[in-house]
Amino acid sequence: MNLSTATSQLTNTVSLFTMPEKVVLKNADLIRGQLMAEIERGALHWTIDLRLTQRMDFSGLVVLIAVWKRVEKLGGTMVLAEPTSAVKALLESSRLYELFEVYEDINAATEYVKRQSLRDGARSC
């Protein structure tokens, strides 16, 4: 399956993951595996870019929850940035806005994650 996602390391400790246009049952395990592999390599602070995601089903929500739980357990940060109206409606109907930090601006999201990463780095010294 051709999966169009992108992971960018913004700093040594902050990563950006761009979700594909569709996050559905057919590709959810692949996306989850890609993110979990990055986390296991030490990427603990994430901005999840949802600007391109036009369609997400509950398997996509399961991916977000699983990744968030893993990152939280390891002391990291994960936020969602610029969800499309379709994704926003799904987050609202599932009440996951109560769980996730959701930013309407990707730059604000990334700055928050950078600050968290610096704070966490200072705490571990």
Q: Is residue 123 part of a domain?
A: no
Number of structural domains found in the chain: 1
Domain that holds residue 36: 12-103
CATH code, 42: 3.30.750.24
Could you read off the pLDDT of 11-25 as tens digits, one per residue?
677 999 999 999 999
Q: Answer whether residue 116 is part of any domain.
A: no
What is the full DSSP assignment across the chain?
-----EEEESSSSEEEEE--SEESHHHHHHHHHHHHHHHHTT--EEEEE-TT--EE-HHHHHHHHHHHHHHHHTT-EEEEE---HHHHHHHHHTTGGGTSEEESSHHHHHHHHHHHHHHHHHHH-
pLDDT at 33: 97
pTM value is 0.90
Q: Is the pLDDT of residue 122 over 90?
A: no
Residue 86 lies in a domain: yes
Q: Residue 92: inside a domain, yes or no?
A: yes
Q: Residues 80-118: pLDDT tens digits?
A: 999 999 999 999 999 999 999 999 999 999 999 999 999
